[in-house]
Structure 1
Amino acid sequence: MEIIGLIVAGAIIGLLGKLVAPGDKDNIPIWLTILCGIGGVLIGYAIYSAFGGDGSSGVDWVRWAVAIATAAVLVVIASTVTGRSNNRTRI
């Protein structure tokens, strides 16, 4: 059940990360956005724990904010590295 929850949370976080990422962020495929979201959740939780985050009872908004920010950074990196070019060469 954790894997399904991670995929669903990753998809939502990836889309939120894509929403808050600056610039032209619509040039990467949706599957890569979801992978960035899953990576954002995993890396964001690791960053949160590394800086002393121990969670709280209920929803831990700081942990989710770190995950969204991490996903946004991953979306920007993915867009820069593998994004589709909008420039077409005319011959």
Structure 2
Amino acid sequence: MEISGVISAIVIGAIIGLLGRLVVPGRQHIGVLATVLVGLLAAFLGAWVGHLLGLYDHRGLFWVVWIIQIGFAALGIVALERFRSRRQ
């Protein structure tokens, strides 16, 4: 993977992570790096699920993959927030 691909993945992960945080109600006490990492993981998981469901084969259904990715990001944000609150 070239450096432009790595930078693109980080930017997309940040966007997906931020959108996931917007979906979750209330204030989340996690940092920017955790948001980007959750967003990256959610983007990869959502793309994988979209591929398994065959959503890339249909031209008009790519937005469903975005919803899946944002949903995974929201779940990741909630899970990370609960894990961090239990540790304290």
TM range, smaller chain:
0.7 to 0.9
Determine the structure 2 residue equivalent to 1:70: 72
Query: Please, which of 8, 17, 20 is the counterpart of residue 11 of structure 2?
Result: 8
TM-score (norm 1): 0.78
1:53 partner letter: L
Whether contact under 8 Å (1:25, 1:76) holds in the other structure is no
Q: Does 1:50 align with 2:52?
A: yes
Query: Could you list the per-position Cα deviations for residues 20-75 of structure 1 after superposition, in whole angstroms to 9, with x for gaps in the alignment?
Result: 024x4421112101110011100111111112222555882111111111111111
Structure of higher CA gyration radius: 1
Poorly superposed stretches of 4+, deviation over 4 Å: 55-59
- Return the letter of the residue paired with 1:14: G
> 1:78: Cα distance to partner?
0.8
Change in Cα spacing, 1:60 to 1:6, as seen in structure 2 (3 Å) is same
Which stretches in structure 2 are left out of the alignment for 5+ residues?
none
Provide closer, same or farther for how the CA distance between residues 38 and 55 of structure 1 changes in structure 2, counting only shifts above 3 A. farther
Q: Percent identity?
A: 34
Aligned counterpart, 1:81:
83
Structure with greater helix share of residues: 2
The count of aligned residue pairs is: 85
Return 5+ residue gaps in structure 1 as ranges: none
